[in-house]
Amino acid sequence: MKKSTPAISPGPITLDVLGLSLTTADRARILHPLTGGVILFGRNFSDREQLLKLTASIKALRPDVLISIDHEGGRVQRCKKDGFTPLPAMGRLGELWLTNRKKASATSYPASEAIVAMQAATACGYVLAAELRACGVDFSFTPVLDLDFQRSGVIGDRSFSRDPQIVFALAKSLNAGLQMAGMANCGKHFPGHGWAKADSHVAIPVDERPLKKILNDDVKPYEWLHLSLAAVMPAHVIYPQVDQHPAGFSAIWLQTILRQQLAFQGVIFSDDLAMEGASVAGDVVKAAQLALRAGCDAVLICNRPDLADRLLAELQVTSAKLLSSRQRLLQLMPKFSGLNWDELQQQAEYVQAKKLLSQLQLI
């Protein structure tokens, strides 16, 4: 009797692929049992047909692997042509909220000034998710929950607003749009990257504020979104009044505050371990181990295939940690099939969402 091949379950490493189609090395990495996700970048997209072939080839190897992308709108949108809607930066939605509030204060109608901005956020979330899902992408690392203190160039208009209440309301609305298309959400960058000026891609940001200030301001969107958050990505920022480690490597931030105080039950992804902000944690293997011990369920390693290979070869993960990470990661998989592109163009909800965004001059 022929022995069956054991099924591979998703592991804690999310990694990227080199180009527009899979190489032999890409395939080997995806098939590795420690791999649980593939993240796509702009270099992996030329047109919709190519993207659909790429995602289908990944799923043919590993149906359980979560195919993700950074697709927020504005300057962080990986797919920008061949029919993909050029979505606005989320700061435009915050501006819309404030513009409508000023208009409302000059008229007699009640405090419903936020409704248009929230509807626009839902429309953005739906269009974003539905278009990606039509091309085989499961998940996007969005929304940004950082507050815009007018200090961080890397965050800037990726943030909805300086006001945590506006960030909460618009993120909740955007998440509803994602959910309509069957896509989960990921709030980032916990507890907040808006105050630190340095860009964690190329430097090690430090936020000197006290814990009470951060909890009463930056953390509020996470607290208020609560069970509606499916995933969280911590910041590569050091908050020295709380811990010497960046948030993504800190058990204080991830377990004591996020898991216990905020009762977050979803997936915790590390930010990219190849970023400069992660360098304080040591080499890539030490950084991954520290992130997983601190409370991350999955770690990202991007744009460095050499480091991805080392991580796959050397990372040691306990069976208990593997099991808990797998259970959480599987919850991010879409619960139903997305429409194909032609079907999507005829769908009433999609057509109405794009019409609203066009009327508001957001697209």
In the predicted structure, residue 105 carries a pLDDT above the cut 70: no
Q: What is the model's pLDDT at position 83?
A: 96
Query: How many whole angstroms separate alpha carbon 71 and alpha carbon 128?
Result: 8
Mention the CATH class of domain 13-359: alpha beta
Tens digits of per-residue pLDDT, 323-333?
Answer: 988 999 999 99
With CA atoms as reference, report the closest residue to 121 among 179, 193, 40: 179
Contact status, residue 140 vs residue 68, Cβ threshold 8 Å = yes
Q: How many other C-beta atoms are found inside a 10 Å radius of the C-beta of residue 234?
A: 26
Residue 329 CA neighbour count, 13 Å, CB half: 27
Residue 166 CA neighbour count, 13 Å, CB half: 24
Every domain of the chain and the residues it spans: 13-359
Question: At 171, which helix (H) or strand (E)?
Answer: helix 164-180
In the predicted structure, residue 1 carries a pLDDT above the cut 70: no
Active-site residue set: 201, 271
Q: What is the mean pLDDT of residues 328-350?
A: 95
Question: pLDDT band for position 280 (50/70/90)?
Answer: confident
Tens digits of per-residue pLDDT, 88-102?
Answer: 999 999 999 998 665
With CA atoms as reference, report the closest residue to 88 among 41, 130, 128: 128
Tokens linked to 298? 């999955």
Please indicate, yes or no, whether the overall pTM of this predicted structure exceeds 0.85: yes
Alpha helices, H only, 62-114: 90-105
